[in-house]
Structure 1
Amino acid sequence: MGELAKLTSVIAVVCFVPLFLLYEWLGHVPSLFAACFGVLLSFAAALPHELLHAVCFREDVYLYHNLKQGMLFVVGPETMSRGRFILMSLLPNLVFGALPFAVFLLNREMTVLGAMGMTAIPMGAGDYLNVWHAARQMPRGARTYLDGFHSWWYMPGEDQDRQKREQ
């Protein structure tokens, strides 16, 4: 868990710095109130973020947390396709991070949404790591499932094919 927290922290910083620079480059340094309110909104979205992950599951879902290291995550015992896994991983980051930041880019008066997006996007670092691994490692047709904070993939039917060959 500690190793994962360190890696996601690095990913979060790598996400945050360009967003902050873009925010500043656009010349809109928000008021202290707007910045603080946007950051608070992104933290308030942490539980709804996990609930958006949860709605992508069709079966049971479990919420785990390690608040000491700032981690919340949802797992479920079902398998899903690579595409559904990637959607499940990215959906909350799109809704609570990319969408508010895009609204700010379109209307720079919306500094609260800019600050929210700028903070919420890096909070999805663990999700981006899942997407990276799924996109790089899972072949077409593979299925994945979550076990704790690990994800595993397999090719459907391989066990049945192996059993037939052994008989």
Structure 2
Amino acid sequence: MKLHYKGKYDLNPDSLPHQPHKPNAVPFKEAKDTKTMAMICNIAAFLLLIPLLIILFFRCGRNGLINLFWGSLLSMLCLFPHEILHAVCFKEDVYLYTNFKQGMLFVVGTETMSKSRFIIMSLLPNLIFGFIPYIIAMIIPSASILGAFGAVSICMGVGDYYNAIHALVQMPKGSRTYLHKFNSFWYIPER
């Protein structure tokens, strides 16, 4: 994997690295642009945060909510490491973009992936920065700062769950996926 930092995304999908479509490629049924994707993900993240914080409060007490500021700060510091964890799942060139205006950072690559590798790539950072710290706080309530960090990180990964769910539901057995501009496609390799 070779990571290329590209900076601010100009909202033009044609500017993203991409290869020609594979034969018989099928687009994922997903948001067609970053504005729609950001709106869906931001609403879902907010709705997910509420029950996570309620659970954190009942398990860790007031400290869970008091540590929300520190957990949020830690989550912000993990934005780039989050994307790096996505990037390490690629074997070839991968490109990192920022889109702070719509609350997004993302990586794209032009290689194809199996369904399972795509799902692992999508979920890996959320497991490391979100679910593991949150579960630790559920086991050890005095680690409430980890719970707050995990809760915010879990919510920041909503776009990744969105991608993983689309792969699980839409990709048939034996298919492969790839990114083309801003959207994902799947295809069955010719034998």
Q: TM-score, normalised by structure 2?
A: 0.79
Deviation at 1:14, TM superposition (A): 2.6
Q: Which residue of 2 aligns with 1:9?
A: 42
Cα deviation code 1:96-140 (max 9, x no counterpart): 000110110110000110110010000001101001100000001
1:82 has 2:124 as partner: no
Q: Which residue of 2 aligns with 1:163?
A: none
Q: What letter is aligned with 2:144?
A: T
Question: What 5-or-longer segments of structure 2 have no aligned partner?
Answer: 1-33
Question: What 5-or-longer segments of structure 1 have no aligned partner?
Answer: 161-167
Structure 2 residue corresponding to 1:110, chosen from 130, 143, 151: 143
Deviation at 1:71, TM superposition (A): 0.4
1:141 has 2:167 as partner: no
Q: Which structure is richer in relative contact order (CA contacts within 8 A, separation 6 or more)?
A: 2
Q: Which has the higher helix share?
A: 1
- Runs of at least 4 residues off by over 6 Å: none
Larger radius of gyration, structure 1 or 2?
Answer: 1
The 5-angstrom pairing of residues 1-167 of structure 1 reads 1-30=34-63, 34-157=67-190
Percent identity of paired positions between Structure 1 and Structure 2: 49
Q: TM-score, normalised by structure 1?
A: 0.90
Q: Which has the higher strand share?
A: 2
CA–CA separation in structure 2 for the residues paired with 1:133 and 1:32: 33
Superposed CA RMSD in Å reads 1.5
Instruction: Give the stretch that moved more between structures: 63-72 or 27-36.
Output: 27-36
CA–CA separation in structure 2 for the residues paired with 1:33 and 1:138: 42
Cα deviation code 1:54-74 (max 9, x no counterpart): 000000000122111110000
Cα deviation code 1:1-27 (max 9, x no counterpart): 211110011221232111011112225
